[in-house]
Structure 1
């Protein structure tokens, strides 16, 4: 009898499930609509907003937020948080610059920077899973330690004169067209697609495939949805959490390389408050702070909303303080919508 009821319930539930809209998808669509409205509004306010040079500026500004946001999304899906990504970004960039100054080629030096970020993420994951310290406290401690170490290693002074090769990742572009003029000076015909934007696209595609098609991605979602049920189902919850934190740290290290390469100088004070931008990008894009919900595509939309909002407000002459107020209000609204979704 009970089996018949279960079977009948299953048959009834399946067609109904197709009629119920996916809240996560609705959230992403609303974020995408918001992004389009911002583009239209700022374009009407300033004709220069849609210019090629300004569009490339937005891409460059968003690339760092996007890289941090992808790693943050993985951590948030597991039900955690990573407040250390801004400081890890600075420490990784400083580590890369010090290696370059010591004579290490730029490629291996940047690999070292990513490894430093991954190591910091591994420490976060071990502290959260083995010491059972809440993620907020564990990553807050790492935020302070990584920032202090970056300042200590450099004496709070920037590391400069890193060479042209160091700045290629942050300032180079694909398909750049330059024409030499009769006077001997070069003229840029097409500035090309910035390397950071291409790197962001590659990382986003890889992370999206990992979360959607790989076993570890399914385990990340399962851990955030119901940790105890995931453990009983055979998911190695601790290992999955550590993996998410390692990815967040590694992407923070990669973002540090991109940012320091753009500046062609390693600044130990860079990355302050970047963790909040990363969290904002993930939450605006539909990631739930309760865990179990989030997508890379949504985070990319959220990152571009923040980047375009900052860029458009700058062009409108709005002060940086007002910008913080506006972005803070947007984050609160996104979290409120997430809470309404969870209640339903």
Structure 2
């Protein structure tokens, strides 16, 4: 009797243990974030200002959106190195649709996001059908997408896109402005930037999907043990492909948001962004071995990177030194992840 009950009890304990590990990793990342905020608040009086907070939020948006896609791919046991180049290609396509084809801005941005999704689909098919390692498959897409972005624009920026193109990246919800006695507008409240709202909605939606949907459970199962998932009836190839499609779509969306903020499409935008995306996921507790990770942890990881850069900038630390510090943080985080996997 007791022997028959042992397997379910063991499985329940294992699930509980995994959830506890996720919580520990998330709170560890949150503790690091709080420590950074406290440290930079002491070294710079302007760090906790409302304007600087909005600036950090906008900077973090791109890292977080790309990091969410990277998290889902890594949980499923893959890696995506192409998101920075796909970001640039999607933004360029959206800009050219407005300037050359005269499409309305929403349709042009949907086209850009669609291009990102197509790049993600190609990545997924190359990994699942051609059986190429994810590192090589996405490295090839990184070069192809960047080359296409440069080819379409002649390696020049696409400008003259109009004010409507900049609304997504520069607009804000609940912005309060009053005209002063001198006739000039006075900003009472800068509002919540649209990119920050977009990041929050997408993070909540993907987190809910990972934890509550069948597809989300399959993503974790494939990352934990692809062969066991296949024997259990999971369509492993389809699940892996969908994770790359999601990563491509989010890269396309990030490209549209970034180009909208600049009101100019830069084919060289997004260089090395894939490393920030992967770093935010790893700092937030996502295991490079697959099967472990949370969206909340990734968002916290993105804020760790954003606040670290912002605080170092405000304290006059050079960009070269910042790269060294962030690189050391990534190495430390991955080392901790490796120790956890060995245990």
Both proteins in one fold, TM over 0.5: yes
Structure 1: tracts of 5 or more residues without a match: none
User: How far apart are residue 316 of structure 1 and its match?
Assistant: 0.5
Match of 1:62 in 2: 60
Alignment match, 2:80: 82
> In the superposition, relative to structure 1, how do residues 120 and 55 fare at CA in structure 2: closer, same or farther (>3 Å)?
same
Q: Secondary structure at the match of 2:178?
A: strand
Q: Deviations over 1:212-235 (max 9, x none)?
A: 111111111110000001001110
SS of aligned partner of 2:334: helix
SS of 1:179's equivalent in the other structure is: strand
Task: Give per-residue Cα distances to partners, 1:44-86, cap 9 Å, x unaligned.
Answer: 1101001011000000000011100000101000100000000
CA drift of 1:275 comes to 0.1
Aligned residues: 342
Report whether the alignment pairs 1:29 with 2:27. yes
Structure-1 residue corresponding to 2:165: 166
CA apart distance, 1:256: 0.3
Unaligned runs of 5+ in 2: none
Q: What is the CA distance between 1:194 and its match in structure 2?
A: 0.5
CA distance in 1, matches of 2:264, 2:130: 37
- Per-residue deviation, 1:171: 0.5
- Provide the residue aligned with 2:126 in structure 1: 127
Q: What corresponds to 1:292 in structure 2?
A: 291
Quote the residue 1:320 is aligned against.
Answer: 319
The answer for the alignment partner of 2:278 in structure 1 is 279
1:183 offset after TM fit, Å?
2.2
Distance in 2 of aligned mates of 1:195 and 1:270: 20
Q: Partner of 1:317: helix, strand, or coil?
A: coil
Q: Hey, what does 2:42 align to over in structure 1?
A: 44
Task: Please give the secondary structure, in 2, of the residue aligned with 1:49.
Answer: coil
Contact 1:23 1:341 in 2 (8 A): no
Q: Deviations over 1:114-141 (max 9, x none)?
A: 0000000000000000000000000000
In structure 1, the partner of 2:238 is 239
* CA deviation profile, 1:12-67 (whole Å, cap 9, x unmatched): 88679868982222111111000000001001110100101100000000001110
Deviation above 4 Å: which 4+ runs of structure 1?
8-21
Q: Secondary structure at the match of 1:83?
A: coil
User: In structure 1, what is the Cα distance between the partners aligned to 2:217 and 2:67?
Assistant: 19
Question: Counterpart of 2:186?
Answer: 187
Could you tell which deviates more after superposition, 94-103 or 13-22?
Answer: 13-22
Give 1:7 deviation, angstroms.
Answer: 2.6
- Structure 1 pair 11/206, CA: closer, same or farther in 2 (3 Å)? closer
What residue is the counterpart of 1:140 in the other structure? 139
Structure 1 residues 11 and 192, CA gap change in structure 2 (3 angstroms): closer
User: Relative to structure 2, which stretch is displaced further, 53-62 or 173-182?
Assistant: 173-182
* TM-score, L = length of structure 1: 0.96
Equivalent pair of 1:211/1:218 in contact (CA under 8 Å): yes
Query: Secondary structure of the equivalent of 1:268?
Result: coil
RMSD of the alignment, in Å? 1.6
